Structures are given as C-alpha cells and as structure tokens.
Amino acid sequence: MRKIPLCIPYVGQEEKDAVNEVIDSGWYAHGPKNREFEEGFADYLGVKHAFSMNSCTSAIHLSVEGLGITGEVILPSFTFVASANAVITGGARPVFADIEYETCNIDPASIERLITPETEAIMPVHFGGQSADMTSIMEIAAKHNLLVIEDSAETIGGEHQGQLTGTFGVGCFSFYPTKNITTGEGGMLTTNDDQLAHKVKALLGHGIDKTTYEREDKEKSWFRSASRIGYNFRLSNILAAIGVEQLKKLELMNEKRRSLAALLTLGLSEIPEITPPYVKSENKHVYQMYTVRVNQNLDRDQFVRNLNKKGIGASVHFYPPVHHMAPYQGDIYRKDGLEITEKVIREIVTLPMYPGMADDDIHYMVQSIKEVLSEFK
C-alpha cells in the first residue's frame, strides 16, 4: 500500500552540509548563521528588521509585549491554540472573531462587530497558505487606530494584492516541519518599527541588548547587563543554518506546492461531494495546507479514517477551535457568534501537501477519495 504522509520537509544535502559546518565551527548557540538568516529573511520581505527565535509563538508573545498591548486583541477562534496562548502570555486578552466560509480566514465584518474601547489590536491568522483580506483589515485598523499583528505561520511567501504577508503589520512566522520552510523548530518576527525592534532584540535574549556574538572580541565581552526583564526565546546557530538554506529554496518549494495543488484541484473537481480550496483573485496561495470540504451528509471523521487506512495522512485543521477548549470557556473571553466557524469545523479535511510529492501521489489520492466515497454509498 502506498504511504502519503501529511507532510515531508523538503531538505537536501545543502542543509546537512550547513549543519556540519556550524558543528565544526564550535558556535552552537545564537551566532553568525542567525544574522545571515535574519538579514536574508528581511531582504526577502523587504522589511527593516527580522529576529529569529525558537517559535512563532514566541514571536507573537514578543509582538504583544513589545507593543505594550494590555487590552483586547481580535483574532479568529479557528486557529491553532498557540495563537491565543501567546496573546495571553504577552499580556493581553484574546477576543474571538468568526471566519469567511470560503477562505477560512478572519472575517472583517466580524472584526468590526467586536471592536470596543478595550480593543487595541487585530491579529489575522493567514490560513493554510492564503492571505486574509488585508485591504479591509488595514482600513479597519486605521479607522479605529488599532495595531496589526500578522500570524503568518502558515503563509510564508503568500501575497495579497502583490504584497507579501507579514509586511502589513508586525509579521510572525513559523518554521515547524509542516511549514513552507523549516528549521525543525523556530520562528521569526519582522517589523519596520525601530522602537519595537530594539525591545524585541533585548526581550528574546534575557533582556540583554547585545548578543554574545555581537560582544565577541570586544574589550569586555563578558559584560552582560540586562536593560529589562526578558526571556530565552533564541534560535540556535545550528537551526539558523538550516533556515539559511531553506530560504534559498522557498520560491521553488512554493511553486511546487502551487503546481501540485492545481493538479489535485483538477482531479477533485470531478467529485461533487468534495469542495476544493477557494482562492481569491487578489491572493497568491502557497498551500502550506491543502484543505477541502466534504458534503455535510457524509461522516467527515469516518472519511478521514478511511483515507488513513489507504495510507493517506489526511487530518483535520483546526478541531476543536480555540473557543471550545477548556482554558477559553467562560465570559472572560468575548466572541462573535462564530456560526461559520462552527460550520467549517464539521466539514473541513486537510489532505497531504508537500513539495516532494509526485504527480502519481496526487492521482492516488484522487482515486482513493473516489473509492472511499463509493464505500459510503
């Protein structure tokens, strides 16, 4: 039986050589590869500052804390729980908005309904490789004098109206193995705000303004006084070396994802029980995930289990939504009606998608889906 996992990282000899180079150098902690990765990432996005760290969660946390947000942050409940967790650990309070049915991205109309004097920021979570409606979101933010933090963990290289995600507000990115580039674990915060950049640089390394690498060869390299209370959110030099090589392949990997997604969409278009992903004309989708909807008359969970039995690593993102989870129950966390969120979580299925897939894998998935649906009938 063919095995098609949900994701396989696209890693080659270049990454292995880069890791060995760092190991041989003896510089394992935050170091020169971090700087190279950060400069390359900032150049790719066209922003002034990029800070590598241990996760996107840490990037969101430092965005909230660094911007001094202590009130409410509006974000979708339809996301991984880390998005909401980081808002809280950063010192603010999440408020849960509904999503658009077609894209699963945060609904601007829902954002408008939730704004109160306590609202300080909007945090769109770009879903699965497609940008949220940043034109409308930035207009709402300007109208109400709100900050914008983009959780772009799933949409590295995605675009809205020709502009890359993570460049509208403060950008937060993930390099988990399922993402468009990976360092195993890791994240990046991007900004054009010099004041925020100064705070983030210190906060991610124990509140010390200069890194060990920056202090090297200085007259008093051992001087490590903290200017503020901080954290250890650093990314190691070893993992940053992987990121440097992955970034070189980002456009290639994204084009492979888009080509494979087009082939899969073509195959699924013949199956009336399945709705392929909807892509807005103003967006460039980079398919970090390939999500479909199944007809509500079908048992979605059994559909996924039956695909798994055929070796297809199908899954469900995101179930349960954050507002269903125990820590987020009660009136302390405001939310919109979330009718679309409740509908989507019963229909959505994530199919395997990664740059190294073969066309035959796509054909096998389509045929397997047809067989599973035939079994239901």
Domain ranges of the chain: 13-248, 250-376
Cα–Cα distance, 362 to 49 (Å, whole number): 39
| Amino acid letter, residue 288 | Q
Question: Which residue, 100, 96, 92, 76, is CA-closest to 150?
Answer: 76
Q: Is the dihedral of CA 172, 177, 183, 185 positive or negative?
A: positive
The pLDDT of residue 354 is above 70: yes
- The CATH code that applies to domain 13-248 is 3.40.640.10
Averaged pLDDT, 291-307: 96
Averaged pLDDT, 123-141: 99
Confidence of residue 216 (pLDDT cuts 50, 70, 90): low
Confidence of residue 91 (pLDDT cuts 50, 70, 90): very high
Confidence of residue 23 (pLDDT cuts 50, 70, 90): very high
Averaged pLDDT, 218-243: 87
Predicted pLDDT at 133: 99
**250-376 shares the fold of 13-248:** no
Three-class SS of the chain:
CCCECCCCCCCCHHHHHHHHHHHHHCCCCCCHHHHHHHHHHHHHHCCCEEEEECCHHHHHHHHHHHCCCCCEEEEECCCCHHHHHHHHHCCCEEEEECECCCCCCECHHHHHHHCCCCEEEECCECECCECCCHHHHHHHHHHHCCEEEEECCCCCCCEECCEECCCCCEEEEECCCCCCCCCCCCEEEEECCHHHHHHHHHHCECCECCCHHHHCCCCCCCCCCECCCCCECCCCHHHHHHHHHHHHHHHHHHHHHHHHHHHHHHHHCCCCCEECCCCCCCEECCCCCEEEEECCCCCHHHHHHHHHHCCECCECCCCCCHHHCHHHCCCCCCECCCHHHHHHCCCEEEECCCCCCCHHHHHHHHHHHHHHHHHHC
- Average pLDDT over all residues of the chain: 96
Report the first-to-last Cα separation within the chain, whole angstroms.
Answer: 23
Predicted pLDDT at 351: 98
The pLDDT of residue 78 is above 70: yes
Cα–Cα distance, 204 to 201 (Å, whole number): 6
Confidence of residue 219 (pLDDT cuts 50, 70, 90): low
What pTM was estimated for this model as a whole? Answer: 0.96
pLDDT tens string 157-172: 999 999 999 999 999 9
Question: Which residue, 12, 11, 31, 26, is CA-closest to 240?
Answer: 31
Buried b (16+ CB within 10 A) or exposed e, 164-182: bbbbbbbbbbbbbebbbbb
Predicted pLDDT at 296: 87
* Superfamily of segment(s) 250-376: Aspartate Aminotransferase, domain 1 (3.90.1150.10)
